[in-house]
Structure 1
Amino acid sequence: MTEDEAQAWISANFDVPRETWERLERFISLLREEMLHQNLISKSSADHMWARHIVDSAQLLLLAPKPDKDMIWLDLGTGAGFPGMVIAILSSYQVRMVESRKRRCEFLNKVIEQAEIERNAAVFHDRLENIDSFSADIISARAFAPLDRLIPLSHRFSTEKTVWLLPKGKNAVRELKGLSPKRQKMFHVEHSLTDPNAGILVGKG
């Protein structure tokens, strides 16, 4: 997927008025600036920002229930803002991003302020273990922890209706097989739009 194809895909799949495009472009601009000061994404992916990061994050919305303003999306280990920041810009979910690293949290809060998405985006600067439990409608994690650690750490935020969206790259099937048979039944694998060899674990409960 080229950068032009990625932008065309975003336009075709989401209602993207001028203000939303400006927010996405501002996010990308801030990310490029911050990369001069800290390691946020790989240098090899910086020239493919729309395909490797924006579309890769946005595709999760197609696997999620239709949002409303009260539904909570919990993104674990948000890092540079993927997928949490993209979800907050493109949807009406209340996005709660968990990130333990101070400098990354400072960057994420800067994006929230300058993209003017305070209405539905917030950052928890702490380890997940230290955050009080609440019920999340969606739980995502792009590069937070292996599945056999991720589920025990985060299950207290889930209900029987919670949807799990976990991009796991080429390790998706292998990590799924590492769970107990009961937990394996929670999930199925969807292929990523940005990498035919990558999988997204989709679960419920």
Structure 2
Amino acid sequence: MSEDEAQDWIARHFGTEAKVGLQQLIDIVVTESARQNLIAPSTLSAMWVRHVVDSAQLVTLAAESDGVWLDIGSGAGFPGLVVATLTDRPVILLEPRRRRAEFLLVAADALGVSDRVTVHCARIEDVKITANVISARAVASLDSLFTWGLQCASSATRWVLPKGRTALADIAAAQEHWDGVFHVEHSITDPDSLIVVASGVTRR
């Protein structure tokens, strides 16, 4: 997928106006990346593919789950701020690193979504919130994410977790300790990369 194809995908799925807000997010992240290491420098030339569409596809995978979206380890705001830009749902961003949490607050305000976005400078295991959707991008294993975040989930919570090429092995390891419905989706930005979608997650 090229950068132009990524922008076309956003326009098809979310409308041409969505591109404006997402371009603003890109600009904010690129500017801040000169001050702190928000994203890998090698991805700066492919922001639409590597970060925007890679995040936005999660919205389509959670379309049937309304309500609060909780993003663990939000970092530069992917996928959390993309979700907030593309939807009208409440979004909670968890980021334990203070400088990044401060950046997320400023970015949410600049994007005009601060009325729906809450930023907690905290670890997931220290927060008690019930979320309809939980995401985490390149944070930890499924077993660790479920262990840390189970207190924020109900039986109806959908977990949307990009896991790259290790997804199937990660699911197998998690199923030693966890029950639930697990399936994988191929990422549209990299067909070899997989996204785990889980629901009804309970400890064995």
Give the TM-score normalised by the residue count of structure 2: 0.93
Counterparts of residues 21-40 of structure 1 (less than 5 Å): 21-40=19-38
- Deviation sequence 1:104-131 (CA, Å, 0-9, x none): 1111111111111112212111122222
Local SS of the residue matching 2:190: coil
Q: Which runs of 5+ in 2 are unaligned?
A: none
Percent same amino acid among aligned pairs?
41
Structure 2 match to 1:159: 154
3-state DSSP class of the match of 1:118?
coil
- Give the Å deviation of 1:15: 3.2
1:13-92 superposed matches below 5 A: 13-17=13-17, 20-66=18-64, 71-92=67-88
Cα distance in 1, alignment partners of residues 6 and 59 from structure 2: 15
Report how far residue 66 of structure 1 moved: 4.1
Corresponding residue of 2:96: 100
Q: Is the 8 A contact 1:67 1:92 kept in 2?
A: no
1:53 CA drift (Å): 0.5
Aligned-residue offset at 1:65: 2.9
Question: Would the aligned equivalents of 1:67 and 1:91 in 2 still touch at CA under 8 Å?
Answer: no
The RMSD of aligned alpha carbons is 1.5
- Residue in structure 2 matched with residue 128 of structure 1 by the alignment: 124
Q: Compare 23-32 and 92-101 and name the one that shifted more.
A: 23-32
SS in 2 for 1:161: strand
**Number of matched residues?**
200
Give the letter aligned to residue 161 of structure 2. Answer: L
Looking at structure 2, the residues matched to 66 and 165 of structure 1 have their Cα atoms a distance apart, in angstroms, of: 12
- TM-score normalised over the length of structure 1: 0.92
- Work out which of the residue numbers 179, 187, 192 in structure 1 matches 2:182: 187
Structure 1: runs of 5+ lacking an equivalent: none
Counterpart in the other structure of 2:163? 168
Instruction: Compare the two structures and name the one with the higher strand fraction.
Output: 2
Q: For residue 122 of structure 1, give the secondary structure of its aligned residue in structure 2.
A: strand
Q: Distance in 2 between matches of 1:183 and 1:173?
A: 14
The structural deviation recorded for 1:182 is: 6.7
Q: 2: CA distance between counterparts of 1:138 and 1:28?
A: 24
